[in-house]
Structure 1
Amino acid sequence: MLETTQTEDDSSIRSLIGLAALTGDVGEPEDYRRIYSPNATWRSGQERQTGADEIVAAAATRRDQGISGPGTATRHFVVPLHVTVSGDRATAVSYFAFLTATTSAPTVSVAGTYRDELVRTEDGWRIHDRETTIG
């Protein structure tokens, strides 16, 4: 793996978190495979997806239901607040807001916190565990 500085790692992780939000808005569900590790977990309340296949399937379901993605007039607004890197592992805390009705009168539908654990892979940083807390 490439040697990187703390600043480069921090920037890469913040960019990855932004890419996750962008993918939710305009990407394809399969694009999540570039963001999450193969055995990642995404938890939100009682919901849990384990593994990239389940994360991709959940994104496809949200698309099918018109909850998010192209044509739904929704947007994710995410602000990574704090990133800590320790070797090939990292943690990040971000605030997020999910906006609906973005083509008319945008409304914050949901807001909360992402707590991410990340791992460095041969292909770069990947989210390994994401806990979503609403409120």
Structure 2
Amino acid sequence: MTDVETRLAALEDRLRALEDEREITRLILSYGPLVDSGCAEAVAALWDEDGVYDVDELLMDGRPAIDAMVRSANHQRWIAGGCAHFVGPPHVTVSGDEATAVGYTLMILNRDGGFTLRRATANHWTLRRTPEGWSVTNRTNRVLDGRPESPDLLASHFPGAERV
């Protein structure tokens, strides 16, 4: 391989890494607008067919369960009353056809003419590349209420990071 071919291959690898990170970030950031607009099928389609969404108060196993959560009376009441799932920018790590990401989500509700924070959560995502693009295999959320598992979830994304 010539120097030019080596440099071109390295550049292609770097570009693919940036494109993967961008696609994953866009997928994660699409969750909030999709779930707050009640697009149940589109929300469920972010996950693999047998993907898992593990929230403190609910474990959803597979796309049908995720779709049902968005269609549920409780979730529809939040939308009707004014609701925002604000997803902060994720920290994404790609390794071949697998990826992880961590970040935060705030769930904000319109109540009594003002907005209140219902919960702030730590999020850990695992994803995989499919022929159609990146897909969520697992998303785990834990409320940031002082329990150790919430910061542990965030730290697990960073190899060698130790909590004090």
What is the aligned partner in structure 2 of residue 23 from structure 1? Answer: 34
Distance 1:117 1:93 in 2: 9
User: How many residue pairs are counted as aligned between the two chains?
Assistant: 130
What is the aligned partner in structure 1 of residue 81 from structure 2? Answer: 72
Shift of residue 81 of structure 1? 3.4
What is the aligned partner in structure 2 of residue 63 from structure 1? Answer: 75
Which of 101, 109, 114 is 2:118 aligned to?
109
The structure whose Rg is larger is 2
The structure with more helix, counted as a fraction of residues = 2
Within a 5 Å distance, the mapping from 1:19-98 to structure 2 comes to: 19-45=30-56, 47-61=58-72, 62-64=74-76, 66-67=77-78, 69=79, 71-98=80-107
Shift of residue 63 of structure 1? 3.5
Shift of residue 102 of structure 1? 7.6
Report whether the alignment pairs 1:8 with 2:19. Answer: yes
Shift of residue 103 of structure 1? 9.4
Q: Which runs of 5+ in 2 are unaligned?
A: 1-12, 145-164
Q: TM-score, normalised by structure 1?
A: 0.87
Conserved in 2, the CA contact under 8 Å of 1:73 and 1:103? no
Q: TM-score, normalised by structure 2?
A: 0.72
Compare relative contact order (CA 8 Å, sep 6+) and give the higher one, 1 or 2: 1
Matched AA of 2:67: V
Residue by residue over 1:17-50, the C-alpha shift from the partner in whole angstroms, topping out at 9 and shown as x without a partner, is 1111111111421112331110100112252111
Q: Which runs of 5+ in 1 are unaligned?
A: none
> Which stretch shifts more, 82-91 or 30-39?
30-39
Distance change in 2, residues 1:96/1:87 (3 Å)? same
Query: Hey, which bits of structure 1, 4+ residues long, moved more than 2 A?
Result: none
